[in-house]
Copies of this chain bind each other. A is one copy, B any other.
Amino acid sequence: MPINQQILLDNRPTGEASASNFMLVSSDTPPLQEGQVLVRHHYLSLDPYMRGRMNDSKSYAAPQPLGQVMIGGTAGEVVESRSPKFQPGDKVVGMGGWQEYSVVNADQPGALRKVDTTHVPLSHYLGAVGMPGVTAWYGLVKIIEPKAGQTMVVSAATGAVGSAFAALSKARGCRTVGIAGGPDKCKYAVDELGFDACIDYKPHADAGSLSKALRDACPDGIDGYFENVGGMVLDAVLSRMNAFGRIALCGMIAGYDGRPMPLAYPALILTNRLKLQGFIVAEHMEVWPEALKELGTLVGTGKLRPRETVAQGIESAPEAFLGLLKGKNFGKQLVKLI
């Protein structure tokens, strides 16, 4: 019976999240019952949405319960099985949470998905060929509905969602412009991720200044915007949107800490006849097969080469997660557990 190290949510943040909100515990993995499998997690995915779950507030999902293992996507290997559906050695992706092992009821639909690691490394199933990739796909394909020659912009450009967005947008013949924090990320976005241009938001003190930089990077205006950040960046992009532009709203990291984050000029939505639409990719499972197929092909053919930031060991998860919220990661943030 292997020992399972777990991270629980111990208490809720007031304002900014901190390491003291979490607690590391150990327990034995329980014996399997009929129909269950034991998965050893190789990778834990860290994602911005987790910050929202730490609050006890009305949102699209129930809050993370206190004293329980933090929610999270995991990729790993079946090490023991009492289900005919899985064999030891199978590579699988699931929602195992912030722990080293999980026991899964194999009959529960969607709880565990076998993946093929021949052409796609296991960890990418938590990023480009997983939830973040499908998030980019849904926002671009289903909400923004890009046309060749149009200009697409994405914030948090070098993150898991942003890098997938770039490959999907370029594949559709669009000028693709990123917004990221710092010259290193911007250089990487252009050199490695295929962005036509990338703007460093950090030197810009306000939306007006960032708006001028956007004008230079998007000489024909902006037709589609994928919003991962909110706040000043959204204000700046709104001021450059073309008539009939579409904005997919997926993340608003800037607001998770409870600070008010108003939108300065909502009248622009009217004057430019814009569409803004929020979405949660887990509510659109019907698109996952089509999206994962395209994303897997882009990774397999080298057109999407996502970068990862990997922390080592379950005990490093809280600090890695807090760093993610501050943009310290570079690409998809993972925790390696083996």
Contacts and interface: CB of A to CB of B under 8 A. Distances in A.
B252 A60 contact: no
29 contacts: A52-B271, A58-B271, A59-B271, A60-B243, A60-B271, A60-B273, A230-B266, A234-B266, A249-B266, A249-B270, A250-B270, A251-B270, A252-B270, A255-B267, A260-B265, A261-B267, A262-B263, A262-B265, A263-B263, A263-B266, A269-B276, A269-B278, A270-B278, A272-B278, A273-B280, A273-B283, A274-B277, A274-B278, A275-B275
A188 interface: no
Contacts of A265: 260-262
A215 to B, nearest CB: 13
8 closest residue pairs by CB, A with B = A270-B278, A262-B262, A263-B263, A263-B266, A269-B278, A275-B277, A276-B276, A255-B267
Q: How many copies does the complex hold?
A: 2
A261 B260 CA distance: 15
Interface in A212-270: 230, 234, 243, 249-252, 255, 260-267, 269-270
Interface in A259-315: 260-267, 269-280, 283
A190 to B, nearest CB: 28
Given A252-B267, A261-B266, 20 more contacts: A60-B270, A60-B271, A60-B272, A230-B267, A234-B266, A250-B270, A252-B270, A255-B267, A260-B264, A261-B265, A261-B267, A262-B262, A263-B266, A266-B266, A270-B278, A273-B279, A273-B280, A274-B277, A275-B277, A275-B278
